[in-house]
């Protein structure tokens, strides 16, 4: 028998909102619905013209993949790769893990949330199908074990999960501590308010930002970076947070000062080879100014 499609629903581990997925007859797992195409999970923006939600992440404004300078483009690509490894992939792994851990429950949750058949995705209309979570045209082609499991889980979900409010789901997701690293201020290892961030960048030059809030989060280790942190900040009179990844390969480090005292030095978390740093700085000191193209 050819492999059939399957439809799943699991709560977003960050926000608690329901996310929907289907796997094709070939076994690829994709977000549902497809028209318009649903998108779930963390998104990386270079620009955002609305209030950011918990999944909106912004590229630091000095990076640009369209920059005329190769170093800026390289740094931008590295940032995007790192973000995928540290933020997007762990989120997807959590969602996929939740489906794989109990696929019957994820199918039943799809039927319960969407009132659709968890095999073909079509709407369930007759009362018996709604109780089974599988429509009349599909039920004959599904093994009895799965039919029973989906029906039992569906009844459990309708009894237990239906009264759950969105707030409950958010609280549960928080308790599960499945948030991708750096996604929010919660769990920050260092934080503060009304400070100045100074970036000592050997390649692109130094910069300074006055911030009204800053926080540092651990990032999940990647193959390129066993140690990395994400420093985020919010500038005065601005709602958007900005952030930068600090990992050992970078030719920069950041310090946060308040009233002239250093309150955070990224080198305490992410050691950097200072001889190499000074050599690089020397090498780039005489280069002409960069032109950064904003898009
Ligand atoms: Zn069906």
Q: For each successive 10 residues of the chain (295 residues), what is the average pLDDT? A: 82 88 90 90 87 85 81 87 90 94 94 91 88 92 94 84 51 51 65 89 78 84 71 81 74 81 89 83 60 41
> In the prediction, which pLDDT does 291 show?
43
> In the prediction, which pLDDT does 173 show?
55
Contacts of 109 (CB under 8 A, 6+ apart): 8, 9, 10, 18, 153, 157, 161
Q: How far is the CA of 255 from the centre of ligand 1 (A)?
A: 58
Q: How far is the CA of 128 from the centre of ligand 1 (A)?
A: 13
Q: How far is the CA of 142 from the centre of ligand 1 (A)?
A: 10
Q: How far is the CA of 130 from the centre of ligand 1 (A)?
A: 11
Q: How far is the CA of 138 from the centre of ligand 1 (A)?
A: 4
Q: How far is the CA of 211 from the centre of ligand 1 (A)?
A: 54
Whole-model pTM over 0.75: no
Contacts of 229 (CB under 8 A, 6+ apart): 189, 216, 217, 218, 219, 245, 246, 266, 269, 270
Q: How far is the CA of 121 from the centre of ligand 1 (A)?
A: 6
Q: How far is the CA of 154 from the centre of ligand 1 (A)?
A: 15
> In the prediction, which pLDDT does 134 show?
95
Q: How far is the CA of 114 from the centre of ligand 1 (A)?
A: 13
> In the prediction, which pLDDT does 121 show?
93
Delimit the domains of the chain by residue range. 1-40+102-178, 180-283
> In the prediction, which pLDDT does 75 show?
87
Q: How far is the CA of 136 from the centre of ligand 1 (A)?
A: 7
> In the prediction, which pLDDT does 174 show?
59
Closest CA to 17 of 113, 94, 124: 113
Give the sheet arrangement for strand 252-258, strand by strand.
241-246, 229-234, 207-218, 190-201, 252-258, 261-265
> In the prediction, which pLDDT does 162 show?
47
Q: How far is the CA of 151 from the centre of ligand 1 (A)?
A: 14
Q: How far is the CA of 135 from the centre of ligand 1 (A)?
A: 4
Q: Which residues surround ligand 1, an ion (CB under 5 A)?
A: 117, 119-120, 135, 138
> In the prediction, which pLDDT does 150 show?
95
Q: How far is the CA of 7 from the centre of ligand 1 (A)?
A: 10
């Amino acid at each position: 028998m050819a492999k059939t499609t399957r439809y799943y629903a699991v709560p977003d581990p960050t926000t608690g909102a329901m996310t929907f997925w289907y796997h094709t007859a070939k076994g690829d797992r994709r977000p549902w619905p497809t028209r318009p195409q649903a998108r779930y999970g963390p998104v990386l923006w270079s620009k955002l013209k609305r209030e950011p939600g918990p999944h909106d992440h912004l590229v630091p404004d000095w990076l640009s993949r369209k920059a005329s300078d190769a170093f800026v483009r390289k740094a931008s690509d590295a940032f995007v790769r790192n973000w995928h490894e540290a933020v997007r992939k762990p989120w997807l792994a959590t969602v996929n893990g939740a489906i794989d851990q109990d696929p019957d429950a994820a199918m039943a949750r799809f039927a319960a949330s969407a009132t659709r058949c968890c095999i073909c995705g079509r709407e369930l209309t007759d009362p018996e199908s709604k109780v089974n979570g599988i429509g009349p045209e599909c039920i004959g082609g599904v093994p009895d074990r799965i039919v029973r499991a989906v029906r039992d889980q569906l009844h459990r979900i309708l009894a237990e999960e239906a009264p759950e409010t969105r707030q409950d789901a958010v609280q549960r997701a928080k308790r599960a501590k499945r948030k991708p690293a750096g996604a929010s201020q919660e769990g920050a290892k260092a934080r503060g308010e009304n400070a100045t961030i100074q970036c000592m960048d050997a390649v692109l030059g130094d910069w300074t930002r006055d911030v009204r809030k800053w926080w540092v989060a651990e990032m999940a280790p990647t193959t390129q970076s066993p140690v990395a942190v994400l420093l985020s900040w919010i500038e005065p009179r601005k709602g958007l947070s900005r952030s930068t990844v600090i990992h050992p390969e970078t030719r920069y480090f950041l310090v946060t000062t308040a009233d002239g005292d250093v309150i955070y030095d990224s080198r305490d978390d992410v050691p950097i080879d200072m001889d190499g740093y000074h050599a690089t700085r020397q090498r780039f000191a005489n280069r002409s100014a960069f032109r950064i193209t904003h898009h």
